[in-house]
Amino acid sequence: MNLLDTLKTASSDAVQILDNNKEKILLGAGIAAGAGTVVLACRATLKAQDIVKDHQRRKETIKEAGEYVPEYVGSPDEKRDILINCANTGIQLAKMYAPSVILGATSVCCLVAQHKLMENKVTKLEETVASVTAAYIAVDTAFRKYRKRVVEKYGEEVDKQLRFGQEEVTVEAVDEKGKTKKKKVKVMDKGDLDISEYAKFFDGTSSQFMWADPMKYNADTEANKRFLVCQQAFANQILETRGYLFLNEVYEMLGLEPTKAGQVVGWIYDPENPKKDSYVSFGTFDVLNGRAVNGQEECFLLDFNVDGVIIDELKEIADH
């Protein structure tokens, strides 16, 4: 790569960096210019005192001239001298405060431009979230209807097999004559654990996971169990108080990565609605976590009893 190509690449990278950080740059420039405006205005005010004193001195001289020469009072010469005195004072003050005024206007322009850019970003983000939400709701609704039709026609067992998939394994079995034979049998990939797509492991990947001995990666199972119980109680308090809770909020409580689905899926608190649980459950003490609860395993498989997509129901809550 020659020098020209290097300069072009560096220039392109610099432009890209500026474009990616223009909001931050404008905000920083606006704040800096605002601070500079205050400093320059203070300095100008100190220097302006001498200009005002000179103006008063010339004004007194004009007044004294009228006392010595009566015909000077009210004459065109007196009016001209007063006008010149005021004009000179105004020009000097304008020059004195011009830098602070210009810097102040620059500060305002930077902040207004930054605000406009942020407004455009927020608008685009809202449009993106709305489109993603609509798409997810459509997919989720279609998937639920599909599963319902499968259950009605073929039963829950077939639905479970289609949902989790199967694999064939070869096992050895003894027949009635005592001979050992090999045969293929179908087993579920995930056993009989009917977990949802929202389930997550609470283990060392979580920022909230507690270690008894971090150097040896030994988990503090009891502390983790108490933490999950406390966070579940906290989530239920938020749900009862606010009336809704998003799955991503629970993920955040547990130090887990948020998901796109978690932005629109969650819980609605409506005790009178039989279709709503109206409580949050992490599944900490479900059968599948029996070994973890008893201290035989270090990680918990958390499955959340979400109500499904709730974002469309928030408007109804707000209206009430």
Residues forming beta bridges with residue 92, ordered by sequence position: none
Question: What's the full length of the chain, in residues?
Answer: 320
Q: Which residues, 6+ apart, have CB-to-CB distance to 186 below 8 Å? A: 166, 167, 168
pLDDT exceeding 90 applies to what percent of the chain? 14
Contact 227, 255 (CB under 8 A): no
pLDDT, position 250: 95
CA distances from 67 to 9, 82, 140, 155 (A): 77, 15, 96, 115
Distance CA(193)–CA(284), nearest Å, equals 14
Residues 6+ apart with CB under 8 A from 224: 202, 209, 210, 300
Residue at 169: amino acid letter: V
Amino acid 86: pLDDT: 86
Using DSSP's 3-state secondary structure scheme, residue 138 falls into helix
- Among 248, 246, 201, 260, which Cα is nearest to 228's? 201
Angle, in degrees to the nearest 10, between helices 22-68 and 3-20: 80
Of the candidates 145, 139, 147, the one whose C-alpha atom is nearest the C-alpha of residue 261 is 139
Q: What does the pLDDT look like over 238-259, one tens digit per residue?
A: 999 999 999 999 999 999 999 9
Mean pLDDT of 186-209: 72
Is the pLDDT at 125 greater than 70? The verdict is no
Alpha-carbon distance of 320 to 307, in angstroms, equals: 20
> Residue 88 is encoded by which pair of tokens?
């000179």
3-state secondary structure of 297: coil
Q: Which tens digit of pLDDT belongs to each residue from 259-282? A: 988 988 999 999 998 888 999 999
